[in-house]
């Protein structure tokens, strides 16, 4: 007697359903404001050269070690508003627009402003400590934005998958190429390195760290970091680089 085998029932797991999550978005008001103020200062520099035969905004604001050592400490931040040529400011403002608009939408207005300022400060302190050459330009702060973008991708790589790895590789290549270019005469590479470190430290402690909340399809991104974390990040950067600046005085 032949027995008919009992049918086997195999339970198949349905493929995971992809759920789209809307990324935080906000108009880059701080980015545009910084660009506007920086361009205004450059127009003042041009007007000063035309009418007064000298770039007085640069003279009173650029990083000049001798004057900093005599107490003009604002020169550790004011150089981010000053530039040496139309090409110089054009390149920096383009980089600020490309990197800054996205970073501001993810960080929020105040936290992004904090990142920009502490990165500029860190870059100018590094230049003050390691280089005696006069310098000016927003690239110290912009390198900090570049580092913050890299930290953001690293901390949130589980959300972006392979795209995070590719984007992070691109950022490392861009930073590396620009640092190599910065070895050319007349470029303050120490400022770039300091800005990178400042942006990296700030973002590591206070940059966005997202997690997905809710039940599909009603899910949203929530930032586990808050303004307290950003203040801690800024305090760490200011503490480290203020100590470096003080070493120069002694």
Give the catalytic positions in this structure. 139, 192
Count of other CB atoms within 10 angstroms of residue 168? 18
Mean pLDDT, each 10-residue run in order, the chain (250 residues): 57 54 76 98 97 96 97 97 95 93 92 97 97 95 94 86 75 76 78 96 93 69 88 97 95
Go through the domains of the chain in sequence order and give each one's CATH number: 29-249 (1.20.1540.10)
Mean pLDDT of the chain: 87
pLDDT given for residue 175 in this prediction: 74
pLDDT given for residue 199 in this prediction: 96
Distance CA 30, CA 28 (A): 6
pLDDT given for residue 176 in this prediction: 75
Q: pLDDT digit string (tens) for 54-102?
A: 999 999 999 999 999 999 999 999 999 999 999 999 999 999 999 999 9
Q: How many helices (H) and strands (E) does the chain have?
A: 10, 2
């Amino acid at each position: 007697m032949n027995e008919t085998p009992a049918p086997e029932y195999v339970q198949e797991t349905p493929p995971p359903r992809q759920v789209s999550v809307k990324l935080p978005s906000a108009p880059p008001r701080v980015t545009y404001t910084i660009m506007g103020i920086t361009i205004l200062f450059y127009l003042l520099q041009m007007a000063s050269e035309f009418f007064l035969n000298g770039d007085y905004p640069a003279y009173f604001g650029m990083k000049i070690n001798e004057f900093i050592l005599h107490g003009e400490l604002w020169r550790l931040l004011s150089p981010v508003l000053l530039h040496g040529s139309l090409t110089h400011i054009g390149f920096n403002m383009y980089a600020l627009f490309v990197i800054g608009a996205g970073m501001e939408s993810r960080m929020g207005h105040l936290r992004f402003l904090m990142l920009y300022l502490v990165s500029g400060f860190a870059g100018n302190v590094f230049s003050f400590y390691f280089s005696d050459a006069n310098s000016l330009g927003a690239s110290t702060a912009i390198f900090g934005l570049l580092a913050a973008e890299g930290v953001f991708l690293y901390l949130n790589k589980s959300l972006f998958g392979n795209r995070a790895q590719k984007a992070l590789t691109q950022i490392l290549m861009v930073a590396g190429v620009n640092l190599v270019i910065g070895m050319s005469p007349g470029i303050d590479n120490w400022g770039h390195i300091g800005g990178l470190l400042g942006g990296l430290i700030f973002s590591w402690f206070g940059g966005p760290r997202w997690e997905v909340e809710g039940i599909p399809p009603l899910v949203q991104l929530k930032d586990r970091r808050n303004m307290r974390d950003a203040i801690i990040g800024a305090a760490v950067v200011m503490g480290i680089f203020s100590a470096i600046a003080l070493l120069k005085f002694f």
